[in-house]
Structure 1
Amino acid sequence: MRMHRSIGLVGLTFVAVSGIIGSGWMFAPLLAVQHAGPAAMVAWVVGGIAMFFIAITFAEISAMLPVPGGIARVPQFSHGNVVALTMGWTAWVGYNTAAPIEVEAMLRYLDPQSGWLFTAPGSGTLSWGGIALSGGLLVLFTIINAVGVKFFTYANTTVTWLKIGIPIVIVVTLIASRFETSNFTAGGSFAPFGLQGVLAAISSGGVIFSYIGFRHAVDMAGEARNPGFTVPMALMLSILICFGVYGGIQLAFIGALEPGAVAAGWSHLALSGDTGPVGAVASALGILWLVSLLNAGAVIGPFGGALVAVGSNARIAYALAEDGLFPRIIGTLSRQGVPLAGMILNLFASTLVFVALPFDEVVQLNSSAIVLSFVVGPIAVVALRALMPERRRPFRLPAVHLVAATAFVISTLVVYWSGWDTIVRLGLCLGVGAIVLGIVALRPNRPPLDLAEAAWLIPYLLGIGVISYLGAFGGTGAIAFGWDILVIAVFAVAIFAVAVRCRLSPEKADAYLTEEHRLELDNLDRPAV
């Protein structure tokens, strides 16, 4: 049975959009203005541009090599199995926490009407009834994905239209109801906290982390129709669409605030409600039907995010089986052409998350495990230019060295901004992965590990750890805010140069590409490329 290339441009774009727009759009506007004031608008622009740089590096690669579970497979062709397995492992761990996070977010919004879901009001600890319902929802998402990629795409596209439509209705209604232009200079200026405030909103205010869901389009590129066009367009459109949604919500939120709410300063702005600060603004304006719509959005948003996470993670598990980390059976396909064995493995892993870990720990593990995977795009796109210069590139990145180096710096900043506690968890996650990789390496007839090509990885991880420990994001603060960004930038540029030089030899790259062609013939319903 083969995978089917049946996801079109709208379907793949909405896979990424659904990953980006969850429940966070109701809270991010408050977090951003607390750091930057009205200049939070600038933070969304800068954050969108920054994430766009990362996305377009993946756009060239995924258009050229549209493979399932791209984040786990792409490094195989540029830096070999150790880098591919490391990135794939961290992505798999992170993705297995993504669906539980979204499901529990749904239940937290439902809890005011269903108090039996948690052990006590406001406890944040699921009751056994809540765990059972959560597990049932994970089963539902697995079934939707197992029916086939066409049905999954239809279901996700339907949900995503609602996820886009609800914020648009909210933006238009809030602007029409009250738009205080004076709010944009409250506190004496448009940017009361200056450039540092804008950077803080991007890093700590949730801006940059709101955009990272674009990665799902990379993981499902192996099932896209006309991938040379569809994949890069979906990546770029998803960033633009979500910038419109988040920027619109931010604009409407600032304008709809009652001027007295910011009299004590933007950093002291506090709004509460079951549907977050946006819901509190709607309640203050007396628009009760809008509050009801927010309630619906608070459930629909996480529903779509969890649905996509389950589908995307199945492709990561499939890719890890192809890479040799998971048993071969995980890389088999069902009659519907989907990696059902991987979905079942992930279902057990995700269900275990509900039982074993508290919600806050799950959120931190999610961030730590996923953010690292973004660094592979910038180094791989340059390395593959050298290794496969004649290969057809439907989308060709201009000024590739400059753009890729910039994207690598941004990716490294995203890892650093996740904070020292998160970096520690990332280290633990990688430690477990190293043990698993060591066990796999001892198997009979196992291909040798590409250790030389991964020589940049350990200095990179140790360097981030040291800077994070000394930095301003949960560290000791020995390196002050601002200077830490400069240190990270210089460090990342140096590692980028080394990592590109550590690429595979042309002979090894050809061998991996030949193996991929064999897999294409065995598993993919697509023309030869």
Structure 2
Amino acid sequence: MEQKQKLKKNLGMSTAMATVVGCVIGSGVFFKPQAMFTATGGAPGLAMVAWLITGVVCICAAMTFAEIAILIPKTGGMVAYLEEVFGKKVGFLGGWMQSVLFYPAMISALAVACAQQAALFIGEGYTVPLAILAIILIIILNSLGSAVGGGVQIIFTICKLIPLFLLMIFGFVNGSGQNPIFTPMVADGLSPAVVLGQLMVAVLFAFEGWTNVGAIAGEMKNPGRDLPIAIVGGVSIIMAVYFVVNLAYLWVLPADQLKDMAAPASAVALALFGDFGGRLVSVGIMVSAFGACNGFVLSGSRVAYILAEEGNFPASKKLAKLNRAQVPVNSIILVGGIGCLFAISGQFNRLTDLAVFSCWTFYTLTFIAVMRYRKMRPDLNRTYKVPLYPVVPVIAIVSGVYVIINQLFLAGSTSSLLSLGSIVVTLVGLPVYYAVQKSKGRQAQAPQD
């Protein structure tokens, strides 16, 4: 009998945490302050508070996610959790959504962001080909082995933090510190309650990617020890970095100026270091976006792989095949290839909005699954439990429901259409699932005929 190939368990906590931090800190920290200060009418207070509030929400979500991730440390992450608690059909839909929509959209959006920054050096008009080229390069790197892909993740995570720390250090040292930080909360005539909702959605976008480490749990050396630390520790680091760097921005330039600047980080660097500083941060943004893109290829390909390994995906035999480096090269090509197609649009914000709405529907189901799994399997030895249960999971669930409602009904017609399109694409997975199951049934009966 042919021995079944297995993914190597050669990823440690450093790679896992780098995947969390590397996937999340992509481009949101460089671009989102502009949208947030625009929402507040140029007032800094509520925007700064929103980074803290939403950071706490994401930590609650991460602590909730960690419990089920540690109980089911399988490659594929959320797919495995949903399948265990809600059944194969729901698990497949989650994996289908991630494989054809969420991961490719995030990969393409980050590649587009990287290419847009490169345009500052080589001129306009090359965004789409450069974005596709970046994705192809990442596909090649990840095909060389999970250790190579993980190593790239660690290197780029360290590199992307360098310009952020430069902005923080020199911002506080050389900035005037005379600009308001926490007052006023919002501009006159704006409702703080309504604005806070807009700000939280923007910050949640900036935090996207923290769940990706669950998708590589099957390749971790010691998931029981490392996975909770990687998830909760990674999100805590991100929260601190986001808050402090935004504080540094305001130390240099006021919020009413930052709201009119598409890349606040570049504007702050320009004020601190001149033209050289602006270009330095542009390189930093490129590195940051490239590293995040690599993280999504590394994690996303494992979702397609686990579906294929179970025989629940079209062309499963090919997608479940491992190359000599023991990585699912065809699944890497699938997710990255769809990302290349998405990159043709060149639309960073729309691709990101589409991806985030899609995944938050299933994130919320995962939070619910944690509570349901406690009732289903109270006998399991839970080496890690969500602190302050059930308060922390409830905060995560309510936050997820809010994101879904906001994008469907409150965020404007374009966001609503994108969200509805996401639902349609996800539901297309149902006939695909039934077709694959029917094909599996015929193959199972064939030897008996």
| Counterpart-to-counterpart distance in 1, 2:11 and 2:150 | 7
Which residue in the other structure is 1:111 paired with?
Answer: 119
Which residue in the other structure is 1:277 paired with?
Answer: 264
1:405-428 CA distances to partner (integer Å, 9 max, x unpaired)?
A: 321111121223334233212222
SS of 2:331's equivalent in the other structure is helix
User: Which moved further from structure 2: 108-117 or 58-67?
Assistant: 108-117
Which residue in the other structure is 2:238 paired with?
Answer: 242
1:67-98 CA distances to partner (integer Å, 9 max, x unpaired)?
A: 11111121111110111111111122210121
For residues 266-345 of structure 1, the aligned pairs below 5 Å read: 266=256, 270-272=259-261, 276-285=263-272, 287-323=274-310, 324-329=312-317, 330-345=319-334
1:246-302 CA distances to partner (integer Å, 9 max, x unpaired)?
A: 1011111112115xxx6xxx4x854336xx122223323454443232111111011
Give the total of aligned pairs: 424
For residues 30-429 of structure 1, the aligned pairs below 5 Å read: 30-36=34-40, 37-92=44-99, 93-115=101-123, 117-118=125-126, 126=127, 130-131=128-129, 133-184=130-181, 189-190=184-185, 195-196=192-193, 199-204=196-201, 206-257=202-253, 266=256, 270-272=259-261, 276-285=263-272, 287-323=274-310, 324-329=312-317, 330-355=319-344, 361-418=350-407, 419=411, 420-429=416-425
- 2:115 maps to a residue whose letter is L
| Counterpart-to-counterpart distance in 1, 2:289 and 2:60 | 26
- Counterpart contact for 1:72–1:91, Cα < 8 Å: no
| Counterpart-to-counterpart distance in 2, 1:75 and 1:253 | 41
- Counterpart contact for 1:57–1:378, Cα < 8 Å: yes
- Counterpart contact for 2:30–2:265, Cα < 8 Å: yes
| Counterpart-to-counterpart distance in 2, 1:406 and 1:116 | 44
After superposition, the Cα gap between the structure-2 partners of 1:179 and 1:116, relative to the gap in structure 1 and judged at 3 Å, is: closer
| Counterpart-to-counterpart distance in 2, 1:269 and 1:288 | 18
- Counterpart contact for 1:50–1:407, Cα < 8 Å: yes
- 1:79 maps to a residue whose letter is F
Which residue in the other structure is 1:432 paired with?
Answer: 428
Alpha-carbon shift at residue 354 of structure 1 (Å): 3.0
| Counterpart-to-counterpart distance in 2, 1:415 and 1:446 | 39
- Counterpart contact for 2:111–2:132, Cα < 8 Å: no
Alpha-carbon shift at residue 386 of structure 1 (Å): 2.1
Residue ranges of structure 1 left out of the alignment (5+ in a row): 119-125, 448-529
- Counterpart contact for 2:79–2:94, Cα < 8 Å: yes
Residue ranges of structure 2 left out of the alignment (5+ in a row): 444-449
Overall identity of the aligned pairs, in %: 24
- Counterpart contact for 2:63–2:387, Cα < 8 Å: no
- 1:31 maps to a residue whose letter is A
After superposition, the Cα gap between the structure-2 partners of 1:134 and 1:95, relative to the gap in structure 1 and judged at 3 Å, is: same
- Counterpart contact for 2:72–2:80, Cα < 8 Å: no
TM-score by length of 2: 0.87
Give me the CA root mean square deviation: 2.4
1:127-177 CA distances to partner (integer Å, 9 max, x unpaired)?
A: xxx42x433322211121111111222111011011122201111111111
Q: Please state if 1:3 is matched with 2:7.
A: yes
SS of 1:335's equivalent in the other structure is coil
- Counterpart contact for 1:96–1:349, Cα < 8 Å: yes
User: Which moved further from structure 2: 219-228 or 32-41?
Assistant: 32-41
User: Which moved further from structure 2: 209-218 or 357-366?
Assistant: 357-366
| Counterpart-to-counterpart distance in 2, 1:381 and 1:78 | 9
Alpha-carbon shift at residue 18 of structure 1 (Å): 0.8
After superposition, the Cα gap between the structure-2 partners of 1:184 and 1:358, relative to the gap in structure 1 and judged at 3 Å, is: closer
| Counterpart-to-counterpart distance in 2, 1:238 and 1:344 | 28
SS of 2:441's equivalent in the other structure is coil
Alpha-carbon shift at residue 396 of structure 1 (Å): 1.4
